[in-house]
Amino acid sequence: MRKPYNILVLCTGNSARSIMAEALFNTMGAGRFKAYSAGSHPTGRVNPFAIELVRALGYPVENLRSKSWDEFAQPGAPEMDFVVTVCDNAAGEVCPLWPGKPVTAHWGFADPAAVVGSDEEKRAAFEQTLFQIQRRVQLFLSLPLETLDRMAIENQMKAIGKLPL
């Protein structure tokens, strides 16, 4: 088996969507992927509702932290095969130059952390977003990456990001 594919999931705050996507890629990818997450302007804390859902997936939450994408543009950082933005703000920002020229795509999701209401309403928004991310991750994981060229992978990744949620 080849080494795992490295994937970086980006958002602005790195507190919810990118954290959940990191956990989904790492759990659903079953060793085929090593996922990381980061933010352009990290909040410095992971949202408690994201932690709750990620823990329910069986993903270890002890090492989760809201971190800057600058960590992944530094010398010695893991070289990424793929970079996915999951919020519209991060998609519109000028990203650092990633070592290795990874394939990039945008998969936009509404921010569950922006939901105002009861804890039950917030939890429901997080669960809905987790489900939406999970569907796109599953589609990506089903691609025969080993047999596709870079352009085909990029086209597939972008198509996944345009699918209705």
- Active site positions, annotated: 11, 87, 95
Distance in angstroms between the alpha carbons of the first and the last residue of the chain: 33
* Count of beta carbons in the 10 Å neighbourhood of residue 97: 7
35 phi and psi angles, rounded to 5 deg: -100, 150
How many Cα atoms within 13 Å fall on the side-chain side of residue 3? 7
Instruction: Sheet containing 33-39: give its strands across.
Output: 33-39, 5-11, 82-85, 103-106
**Residue among 124, 120, 160, 155 nearest 139 (CA):** 160
